[in-house]
Amino acid sequence: MTLSYDLTFLTLLLSSLYEAPEKDGLSRCFVHPMRKRPYWLTKYTEYAAEISIALAYYNCIDDWEDERKKSSWFYARLLYPKYLRVKAKYPQHCKNIEACLTQLSTIEAKNEPMAADEAAASFGRLLGDLFVYDPQDYWAKHLYATGEALGKFIYLMDACLDLDADRKHHR
């Protein structure tokens, strides 16, 4: 299970922008099985959930390769069949995720002072691409710009939060 606030924001943005038909109700969930909880769905909640699977899969692969975390390897194996379905449905998005994350790893490995801007730009491109549900749509370039700016901001804020730990570990 994953939760990504950037993709939650994307769901709300796309659902509001396109005024997508909604379905709501009460249901039990994996985290809270005892009591029914309200839910709200549009086609964009499904899109964000599927993209979230791809991002979680790549995050697990990255954690496994960087830190050899066994839990990440195990979780990646669990996600892999679902990831393949997402990749079949959104091949361009998955290709872009992989390319941007590979570029991000290369930039971070340099460990240069000015690499933060370059890394933020890479993550911005990743999120910008994911914010575009339909490349032919009128709003596509605006959604890309919004996602790109948000991605840069998220990357830089995360880097600020990790600064003490990175200094401690000489990263």
Q: Is pLDDT at 1 greater than 60 in this prediction?
A: no
Q: Domain coordinates of the chain in residue numbers? A: 43-168
Confidence of residue 114 (pLDDT cuts 50, 70, 90): confident
Query: Taking residues 93-100, what's their average pLDDT?
Result: 96
Phi and psi torsions of 162, nearest 5°: -90, 0
Confidence of residue 168 (pLDDT cuts 50, 70, 90): low
Task: Report the C-alpha gap between 55 and 16 in whole angstroms.
Answer: 23
pLDDT score recorded for residue 163: 66
Nearest to 157 by CA among 109, 124, 130: 124
Rg (CA), the chain: 17
